[in-house]
Amino acid sequence: MSIKLAEEGASVAVLDVNVEAAREVADSIVKAGGTAIALRVDVADEGQWRVPSARRNQLRRLDTVIANAGIMLFGRDTVAADLDLQTCNSALM
């Protein structure tokens, strides 16, 4: 998604708990002439969800957020939007 958005002209922040993977994507965007930054973010820690203002300023403005963190909750079928943070955190442990 990040690469496609960058191809369409978006500045992209690639956030992942695996910062090396995020850097690979961001670097490929920059090498292709786009604008991207990579940050380590653990979605299980709500305090990490904010992009630091110094890094955010590199991107100029925020137009769209795509939150795509996957977890499996066996035996707890529900709509993702109905999951609370505590349930998600327990799935990540």
Signed CA dihedral, 55, 30, 20, 85: sign only:
positive
pLDDT for the residue numbered 54: 64
For the chain, how many residues are written?
Answer: 93
CA distance 92 to 71: 7
Residues 23-66 have pLDDT tens digits of 999 999 999 999 899 989 887 787 887 766 666 677 777 667 77
Domain coordinates in residue numbering, the chain: 2-66
* Beta-carbon contacts of residue 7 (< 8 Å; ≥ 6 apart): 32, 34
Residues 13-29, mean pLDDT to the nearest whole number: 93
**Confidence bin at 7 (pLDDT 50/70/90):** very high
The answer to whether residue 19 scores a pLDDT higher than 60 is yes
Residues 6-20, mean pLDDT to the nearest whole number: 90
Whole-structure pTM over 0.75, yes or no?
no
Angle 68-24-66 (CA atoms, 0-180°, nearest 5)? 20
Residue-averaged pLDDT of the chain: 79
